Chain A
Amino acid sequence: MRKGLAMFVAVVVSVMFLVSSVSSFAADEIKVGIIDTYSGPPSSYALDVLDGFKLALNKINADGGVVGKKIVFVTRDDKFKVDLGLTAAKELIMRENVTILMGTINSAVSLAVSDLAKKEKIPFLVTYGKSSNITGAKGHKYVFSMNENTEMIGKAAAIGLAKRPFVNYWIAGDDYEYGHAIADAVWNHLKKIKPDVQLMGQSWWKVGEPDFTPYITSILSSKPDAVIVATGGAGCIPFLKAAKNTGFTSKVPIYMHTGTELSTLRPLGLDAPEGVIGTSNYYFYYPETPENKIFVEEFKKAYGRYPSFGSLIGLYTANFIAKAFEKAGKVDSEKFAEALSGLTIDSPVGKLTVREFDNQVMLPMFMGVTKKAPGFDFLIATDIVTIPADELMPSIENIKTIREK
């Protein structure tokens, strides 16, 4: 009996010792909580972000970290679901004691976590959610968008498309929030810049539609000048495949926001159609700056593939975090939020600034056209036109009026 008691005391003491050593160890670290979709089709984007983030983080930590501390991270899978994302965010704040949160690719999850971040006063850096509400109508002090949003895409696309001779348009897209938001944004801005454009008709399909051939043939039979395709993520690939098989793009030009992005074109290989007009914030071959070349080389060496736009987001998000902590001078959520707002850093696509008014990162956009190129076993974008960030940022007056409503 005595022996048992002694054992018990020994165990308790050693557990206490372990716990205290863990927490004292943790004090030398800055903990970032990442919530993202690590299962199902969206996970390929989330993993690109994570790899870019890790690459930058390793460098920062190897140089001694920031304010004398290393930056570490923990990840949680939201499975593309709002309730799971929200639970994970709560758990990261309560149990893991993270200083800041980042993620997610799902706009609905991003908005829900943003709401929590506001209540808990924990800064939240949205990495891939593209809803303009994140920093627009629902924006607040603690939420930051590290990505473009539907409003910016719409403006950029409209600027690019208005320069082309198309008048009669058809709109086709995924029948959910993102699809409609993109389509509305492009169309409203296009109508403003070029009032004589006409909308001939619209096609909307369910998310995850496997075969687009019947949609394409029906659009072809009404002979529009150009088609605005508003699909996100998984839908882009089968759409382009069906477009190639039907010879769609050789008859009618199509605009698809992510149509020239690596994430879309790499899986298609040489099956992608030429002549697709697309906008993107990043190509690993453009802009041809020394910073970009170094990034591509390092990323390829570490992960054996080319970096996508997601990888770039991961990279500069890590650098923004490090710089903001440096500016804040200590590990403090409140000070971090104040420091990040209005901050500028260098990146492979040039200087990036988080706009002070709405915490939206100012990203330039590139419009290009898909083409086969020697040396690549997938299509790349050519004839690239840069649309500078200040031309496509959502107007501050607009955000003020929506927020007042």
Chain B
Amino acid sequence: MDFSTSITLNGLIQQFLIGLSRTTILFIVSSGLSLVLGVLRIPNVAHGSLYMLGAFLCYTIASFLGASSLGFWLAILLAPLVVALVSLAVERGLFCHLYDREHLMLLLFTFALMLIFGDVVKAVWGSEYRSLSPPEVFQGSLSILGMPFPKYNLFLLCAGPVVAFALWFLTQKTKIGKIARAAAVDRDMVAAVGINVSWVFASVFVIGCYLAGLGGALVAPTQNISQGMDHTIIMEAFLIVIIGGLGNVWGALLGALIFGLTASMGILVWPQFSIVFPYAAVVIVLVFRPKGLLKATW
């Protein structure tokens, strides 16, 4: 079978754009994971569960408000906020008592959280698949270079840079961002100058989890909302964070680009074995840069 005959330039560009829109989701989720990892030093395995929770909440809020476009936008807005509230409760109620424990303990704890969230989602929403339609304006597809391009993916393409800019602004220009960056380097020193590190940690944790919820809410119209979506995303998010550099938000962006684009280009070039491409990219990066592409904060 000849697999390369059908590749045209238009197809290549199309596939690149599709890959970029998928990258958006990967970036949003893994930047949140990276943020928590960098500042709090917690490998939060439950991050994927919050992503799943975001998707389910988005579905429930949108269907509660009626299947209108307004309902959808409110759901995109509210679902991550609810996830953030849940994470605030988890942080204040449980996490903040555990920061002195070793990493392994924290890892086990977040693993337990993942199982609990999984069961909570099952108990509340049941095991049926759910599906959410994108709002009217983003339904169907546009023709780009003679190829159909889903309108909703176009929206995702725009959402990515917005989130990236917001994150940049937050970490570089705001006080809490600066404190958080300082705490990532040396938390004892930050505490020594009289800053309440505990609340800094709480805010960073909540922001990280908000991003997981946002990723889940944004992805909801493109796939089925079901149990198990937590496992898929957490694997990919960790790989992205590892190749980007642990705890480095821009590393997460770079990692997401590498992962998302190799996946979608691989599908075009060699569809039979496309699964291999993003993982091969991860291996290659780690062979040459075992600590990730950008500077890790660990």
Encode contact with A along B143-160: 1 for CB under 8 Å, 0 otherwise: 000011111110000000
**Chain A residues numbered 152-204 whose CB sits less than 8 Å from any CB in chain B:** 172, 175, 199-204
Encode contact with A along B163-202: 1 for CB under 8 Å, 0 otherwise: 0000000000000000000000000000000000000000
Complex: chain B residue closest to A250, CB-CB: B148
Complex: chain A residue closest to B263, CB-CB: A214
A213 touches B150 (CB 8 A): yes
- Count contacts on A: residues with CB < 8 A to the other chain: 44
B127 touches A215 (CB 8 A): no
6 smallest CB-CB distances across A and B, nearest first, come from A222-B6, A221-B11, A203-B271, A245-B150, A237-B224, A214-B264
Tell me the complex Cα distance, A217–B264, Å.
Answer: 10
Tell me the complex Cα distance, A246–B272, Å.
Answer: 21
List residues of chain B with CB within 8 A of the CB of A267: 128-131, 224
Complex: chain A residue closest to B18, CB-CB: A214
**Given contacts A39-B127, A222-B6, A267-B130, are A204 and B275 in contact (CB under 8 A)?**
yes
List residues of chain B with CB within 8 A of the CB of A268: 131
Tell me the complex Cα distance, A47–B127, Å.
Answer: 9
List residues of chain B with CB within 8 A of the CB of A215: 267, 271, 274
B274 touches A203 (CB 8 A): yes
Encode contact with A along B99-126: 1 for CB under 8 Å, 0 otherwise: 0000000000000000000000010001
List residues of chain A with CB within 8 A of the CB of B149: 217, 246
In the complex, whether B14 has a CB less than 8 A from a CB of chain A is: yes
In the complex, whether A218 has a CB less than 8 A from a CB of chain B is: yes
A221 touches B127 (CB 8 A): no
B148 touches A246 (CB 8 A): yes
Q: Least Cβ distance of A349 to chain B in Å?
A: 24
B147 touches A221 (CB 8 A): yes
Chain B residues near A (Cβ < 8 Å): 1, 3, 6-8, 10-11, 14-15, 18-19, 21-22, 122, 126-131, 133-134, 139-141, 147-153, 219, 222-224, 226-229, 231-233, 263-264, 267-268, 271-275
**Given contacts A39-B122, A203-B272, A213-B222, are A221 and B229 in contact (CB under 8 A)?**
no
Q: Least Cβ distance of A215 to chain B in Å?
A: 5
Complex: chain A residue closest to B233, CB-CB: A210
Contact of B271 among A41, A47, A201, A245 (CB under 8 A): A201
B275 touches A269 (CB 8 A): no
Tell me the complex Cα distance, A269–B221, Å.
Answer: 13
List residues of chain A with CB within 8 A of the CB of B19: 214
A210 touches B131 (CB 8 A): no
Complex: chain A residue closest to B11, CB-CB: A221
Complex: chain B residue closest to A270, CB-CB: B133
Q: Least Cβ distance of A180 to chain B in Å?
A: 11
List residues of chain A with CB within 8 A of the CB of B273: 204
**Given contacts A201-B6, A218-B11, A218-B15, are A245 and B122 in contact (CB under 8 A)?**
no
Complex: chain B residue closest to A268, CB-CB: B131
A210 touches B134 (CB 8 A): no
Tell me the complex Cα distance, A237–B228, Å.
Answer: 14
A217 touches B147 (CB 8 A): yes
Q: Which of A201, A211, A269: most chain B CB closer than 10 A? A: A211
Tell me the complex Cα distance, A241–B128, Å.
Answer: 16
Q: Least Cβ distance of A311 to chain B in Å?
A: 14
A203 touches B228 (CB 8 A): no
Q: Least Cβ distance of B143 to chain A in Å?
A: 9
List residues of chain A with CB within 8 A of the CB of B267: 203, 214-215, 218
In the complex, whether A342 has a CB less than 8 A from a CB of chain B is: no
Q: Least Cβ distance of B11 to chain A in Å?
A: 4
**Given contacts A201-B1, A215-B271, A241-B222, are A246 and B150 in contact (CB under 8 A)?**
yes
Q: Which of B127, B141, B263: most chain A CB closer than 10 A? A: B127
In the complex, whether A271 has a CB less than 8 A from a CB of chain B is: yes
List residues of chain B with CB within 8 A of the CB of A39: 122, 127
